[in-house]
Amino acid sequence: MTSRIVSVVLLLAFFAAMAFGYLVQVGRVAVPDRYNPFTPIDVHAPPGPLTTLKMWRTTHDATLCAAALEQSGLVYRPVADTSGPGGCVLKDVVRITQSDSLRFSSPFMATCPLAVGIAFFEHQYLQPAAAELYGERVSHVEHVGSYACRNVNHQQDTALSQHASANAIDLTGFVLAGGKRITLDGWDDASRDGAFLHRVHEGACHAFRTMLGPDYNALHKTHFHVDMGPYSICR
């Protein structure tokens, strides 16, 4: 009898939770955004209990992603969809020139998920690390590009790289507001620069699906490769 009562209570709780979730989704019940799994991620907001879920939903739903990108602080313009040789397709891509707190070494193309990941990384991990370790903000992010119609590691027998759809970018350095430049040359240093780079690496593992750094292989000694592809990798 007791087990039957418990089963009924659990079933009722399940249906109550489903009903409440539906009312939240359709806007009949108002909850703060940080507790609403149906609203897009706010890249400026402090992390909350649903941040991971909201980030996943935002980067897998075109409407949510567009809404998050619009509020991200990135300066961008849409790029027309194109199909290139070798199966390289650009779809729902934007060209980013800067953000509300820093500039990039050059404009670059990015899918919406990658763009939102960059903004999230900037506000939640990059700038806080710089403020804590140096007492100043990052003013410039250096990179060597996002889009390149090629296979993984430039090999003929590998799959298309995430770069082939502008869903990845390679970050090479960071310049602080005071002019100090930090590159991956300091990765192994037991110094403040080394600590900063490792903090940035750790943060990128949370902001992006894939993060490959100097410890991954020799091809990544000089840059952080980040992408929003299907695999969750932090190396």
Question: 197 and 138, same structural domain?
Answer: yes
- In a domain, residue 26? The reply is yes
Long-range own/partner contacts, residues 212-215 (CB < 8 A, 24 or more apart): 213/184, 213/187, 214/184, 214/187, 214/188
Q: How many domains does the chain have?
A: 2
Predicted pLDDT of residue 32: 78
pTM for the model stands at 0.85
Question: 119 and 6, same structural domain?
Answer: no
Which of 177-207 are b and which e, b meaning 16 or more Cβ less than 10 Å from the residue's Cβ?
eeeeebebebbeeeeebeebbbbbbebbbbb
Question: 84 and 3, same structural domain?
Answer: no
The rounded mean pLDDT for the chain is 89
Average pLDDT on 29-41 reads 82
Predicted pLDDT of residue 3: 60
Question: 125 and 25, same structural domain?
Answer: no
Phi-psi region of 132 (alpha: psi -120 to 50; beta: other; left: phi over 0): alpha
Question: 196 and 139, same structural domain?
Answer: yes
- In a domain, residue 110? The reply is yes
Q: What is the DSSP letter of 91?
A: -
Phi–psi pair at 57, nearest 5 degrees: -65, -40
CATH number at residue 175: 3.30.1380
